[in-house]
Copies of this chain bind each other. A is one copy, B any other.
Amino acid sequence: MIKIALDAMGGDCGPKTNIAGAILATKAYPIEIILVGDKDLIDIELSKHSKSDISKLHLRHASEVIETAESPTKAFRKKKDSSIHVGLNLVKDKQADGFVSTGNTGAVLAASTFILGRSKDIERPGLAGIFPSKTKPFVILDLGSNVDCKPQHLVEFAIMGDFFAQFILERENPKIGLLSIGEEKDKGNALTQATFPLLESLPFNFIGNIEAKEITLGKVDVVVCDGFVGNNMLKFGEGISKLFSSFFKEEADRSLLSK
């Protein structure tokens, strides 16, 4: 059975939320989960659930926690017994098939690179995210791990995105788009113009440039961009959503007050 190591200490809510999620996951999928983190804190949370609910959960103690605000590289070097280190080492030692963490993104990225290493021919790891669209979700990368990219890095993101879309989003022959500011081949900046012919020459379903206003229509399964642009778009999307929420809240308050 597939075993997933889960960083029980990651995220803003700690073991409570991670364990609740782990229970849901073991009910939804044929997997076992190894909770990695502070044994005492995890035991307290586990004791709140029924024996059958936690029957597919295991525990691996880790004495340290990397906080969200810590410097990823410093924390990686200092806290060798963090839940992130211990979890990734389970994967390295083949005791787990994968590692999931909602903790310090930079630390997970740094630790993954150093502990697991990179795939052959992939120079840079990528940060991918799944975005909603009008039809179906798509994957976008890079979202900030590489802020100054060369064309080859975007090609690597496209290849990883293609696999992600096939095996995680279950898309056949995924459509891959290069984020740019115009659909024509010669539109965009120096980076996208140099990347376009490289993507064209690869044996996958590259549909050309795609504009940011088109990605939310669900026209592609994979959006490729450099991490500076991707991260800004991700955060701008977050900002806009909050802005809309605040407008709605104001409007709702006003309409309740007027009644």
Q: Which residues of A contact B (CB under 8 A)?
A: 132-134, 144, 147-148, 179, 181, 188-190, 211-217, 225, 227-229, 231-244, 246
Closest chain-B Cβ to A61's Cβ sits at a distance in Å of 33
Q: Would A147 and B189 count as touching, CB distance under 8 A?
A: yes
Pairs across A and B, CB under 8 Å, 21 listed: A134-B243, A134-B246, A144-B181, A147-B189, A179-B232, A181-B231, A181-B235, A188-B228, A212-B236, A212-B239, A213-B235, A213-B236, A214-B239, A215-B239, A225-B232, A229-B229, A232-B233, A233-B236, A236-B237, A240-B240, A244-B244
Q: Would A189 and B148 count as touching, CB distance under 8 A?
A: yes
| A147: chain B residues within 8 A (beta carbon) | 181, 188-190
Partner of A240, one of B188, B229, B237: B237
Q: Would A132 and B243 count as touching, CB distance under 8 A?
A: yes
Query: What is the copy number of this chain in the assembly?
Result: 2
Closest chain-B Cβ to A153's Cβ sits at a distance in Å of 13
| A240: chain B residues within 8 A (beta carbon) | 216, 237, 240-241
What are the nearest 4 A-B pairs in CB distance?
A216-B239, A212-B236, A212-B235, A213-B239
Question: How far is it, in angstroms, between the C-alpha of A136 and the C-alpha of B169 when the chains are bound?
Answer: 40
Q: Would A216 and B243 count as touching, CB distance under 8 A?
A: yes
Q: Which residue of B lies closest to A218 (CB)?
A: B243
| A236: chain B residues within 8 A (beta carbon) | 212-213, 215-216, 233, 236-237
| A190: chain B residues within 8 A (beta carbon) | 147-148
Question: How far is it, in angstroms, between the C-alpha of A212 and the C-alpha of B230 when the chains are bound?
Answer: 11
| A225: chain B residues within 8 A (beta carbon) | 232
| A231: chain B residues within 8 A (beta carbon) | 181, 212
Q: Which residue of B lies closest to A228 (CB)?
A: B189
Q: Which residue of B lies closest to A188 (CB)?
A: B147
Question: How far is it, in angstroms, between the C-alpha of A228 and the C-alpha of B190 when the chains are bound?
Answer: 10
Question: How far is it, in angstroms, between the C-alpha of A60 and the C-alpha of B243 when the chains are bound?
Answer: 43
Question: How far is it, in angstroms, between the C-alpha of A189 and the C-alpha of B225 when the chains are bound?
Answer: 14
